[in-house]
Structure 1
Amino acid sequence: MAKYFDVHPDNPQPRTIRTVADSVRAGALIAYPTDSCFALGCRLGSHDGVNRIRSIRDLDERHHFTLVCQNFAQLGQFVQIGNDVFRAIKAATPGRYTFILPATKEVPRKLLHPKKKTVGVRIPDHVVTQALLAELGEPLLSSTLLLPDEDEPLTQGWEIKERLDHVVDAVVDSGDCGTEPTTVVDFSGPEPEVVRQGAGDPARFM
C-alpha cells in the first residue's frame, strides 16, 4: 500500500518533506503535485522507477521523460543549451513549461528519445515541489500522471491513493494543483516548436 502524505501547500512540513525525499533516494516511486497537474516521480538513476512509470502510463520508448529541476543551475547539468535558448528559457522559468533539449552525458541513455537523444526538463513554480527538490538535491525523473485511455490527468490526492495504491509507493497531497499539463516546447531543432499547448502561455515561443 502507498503511504499518504498530507502536506501544507504554503508551509510544507520539513519532517514530512525529508521523509518523502528519503523514500525517493531509497528507490520509491511517488505521485506528487506540481504547478501543472500531479506527476509520477522517481530518482534519476532508478531503472525500476522508469519501468514502473512506463507500465502505469503504458508508454513506449519514444516518450520524453522530464527531469523536474529545482533551478536553472541544476537544469544546465543535464541539457545542452546555447545563449539564445538560455535567455528564452530563463525568462519563462520557473513556470508551467517543459523544454525538450539535447541531453548531456549525465542523463542515462534509457531516458533519451532513441533517435533525437533529447530529454524534457522543467522548473516548476510550486512550493511543495520546490521544497522536495531542495531536500532531494537532484532532479525528479517525472511524467504527468495521465492514465491510459483517460483524457484528463488525476487531480485529487485521495483518488490517486485509491486507484494507484498498489503501484506507487507514496502519494504527496497538498491540495488542488490544476488539470492542465505543461506547455511543451522543443528546442532541439533550428527553431523552437510548440509541440503541446498547455498551462504555460505558448505565445512567447511562437
Structure 2
Amino acid sequence: MIFIVHPDNPDARKISLIVDILKKGGIIIYPTDTVYAIGCSLNFKRSIEKLAQLKGLKTKKTNFSVIFHDLSELTNYTKPIDRSTFKLLNKNLPGPFTFILNASNQVPKLFDTNKKTIGIRIPDNNIVLAIVEALGTPLVTTSLHDEDEIIEYTTDPYLIEEKWANKVDGIVDGGYGKNEPSTVVDLSAGYPEILRQGIGELME
C-alpha cells in the first residue's frame, strides 16, 4: 500500500493509517532528509528480525539506527549525555546526521546483541517526524539501498513501489529522495569523529 503524503503539510489521516501499520508490527518505507529508508517500531523484536532478514543479515550483525522525534526521547536509550555533547546534538538536529552515542543497558536487549553504542537520527523531514510523534515510539531505521552498481540509493517512490510493494506493509511517497546519505559522527568517546561524510556539514 502506498501513501502519498505532502512533504510540507503531512495529512494527519494518512499519518494515522501509517502509524496503525507500525503498531501492528508492520515494516514501512519512508522519506527522510537524506535517502529513503526502511524501518519498523522499536517495540517489535520480531519486526526488527524481519527487517534484518530483508537486508540479508542476522539481527546481531546489523547496524540499524533509531529515529527519534526530539532529543528528550534519548534518555531511555543512551547513557547520560554531557553538556558539550548535548549542545552539539542540539545545534545539528533535526538534520542529516547519524550520531553514535553510548547505549543504555536496554539497547542490547532490543537488538539481541552486545552493542554498547546506538546510532540516533532526528531527520529534518516533516513526514517521518510526524510518524514518530504519532507512534509514540522510536523507529528502527536503515537506508534503502539500490541493487544498481552505479546508483546507490533509489530516489523515485514509484520505482521503490515496484521493487518493494510485496516485501513491506506500506510505502510512504513524500516525493523524490536524495541520493546522498547522512553524515555519521561518532560521539561515544566524548568528542566528534566523522566516520562517514554525507550530506550534513557538522557545526561544532
> Is TM-score (shorter-chain normalized) higher than 0.5?
yes
Do the aligned partners of 1:133 and 1:140 also contact (CA within 8 Å) in 2? yes
Q: Show the counterpart of 1:51.
A: 49
Correspondence 1:117-156 to 2 at 5 A: 117-147=116-146, 150=149, 152-156=152-156
Aligned with 2:177: secondary structure? coil
Correspondence 1:157-196 to 2 at 5 A: 157-196=157-196
Do the aligned partners of 1:100 and 1:121 also contact (CA within 8 Å) in 2? yes
Aligned with 1:138: secondary structure? coil
TM-score, normalising length from structure 1? 0.89
Do the aligned partners of 2:183 and 2:196 also contact (CA within 8 Å) in 1? yes
Paired with 2:128 and 2:161, the residues of 1 have a C-alpha distance of 18
Deviations 1:150-179 (A, max 9, x none): 551221211111101221111000102311
Q: Give the number of aligned pairs.
A: 201
TM-score, normalising length from structure 2? 0.90
Aligned with 1:101: secondary structure? strand
Residue 68 to residue 6, structure 1, CA distance change in 2 (3 Å): same
Q: Show the counterpart of 1:77.
A: 76
* One-letter code aligned to 2:120: V
Q: Show the counterpart of 1:105.
A: 105
Q: Compute the displacement of 1:113 (Å).
A: 6.1
Q: Show the counterpart of 1:7.
A: 5
Deviates more, 1:47-56 or 1:97-106: 47-56
Residue 62 to residue 100, structure 1, CA distance change in 2 (3 Å): farther
Report the aligned-residue RMSD. Answer: 1.9
Paired with 1:40 and 1:93, the residues of 2 have a C-alpha distance of 20
Deviates more, 1:58-67 or 1:134-143: 58-67
Aligned with 2:76: secondary structure? coil
Q: Compute the displacement of 1:131 (Å).
A: 1.2
Residue 143 to residue 19, structure 1, CA distance change in 2 (3 Å): same
Quote the sequence identity (%).
36
* One-letter code aligned to 1:78: Y
Q: Compute the displacement of 1:84 (Å).
A: 1.6
Q: Is it true that 1:38 corresponds to 2:36 in the alignment?
A: yes
Do the aligned partners of 1:30 and 1:170 also contact (CA within 8 Å) in 2? yes
Paired with 2:189 and 2:108, the residues of 1 have a C-alpha distance of 21
Residue 91 to residue 23, structure 1, CA distance change in 2 (3 Å): same
Q: Compute the displacement of 1:148 (Å).
A: 5.7
Paired with 1:200 and 1:113, the residues of 2 have a C-alpha distance of 29
Q: Show the counterpart of 2:23.
A: 25
* One-letter code aligned to 2:22: V
Paired with 2:145 and 2:78, the residues of 1 have a C-alpha distance of 25
Paired with 1:75 and 1:178, the residues of 2 have a C-alpha distance of 26
Q: Compute the displacement of 1:53 (Å).
A: 2.0
Q: Compute the displacement of 1:193 (Å).
A: 1.4
Deviates more, 1:133-142 or 1:144-153: 144-153
Deviations 1:130-150 (A, max 9, x none): 111121112111111114675
Residue 41 to residue 154, structure 1, CA distance change in 2 (3 Å): same
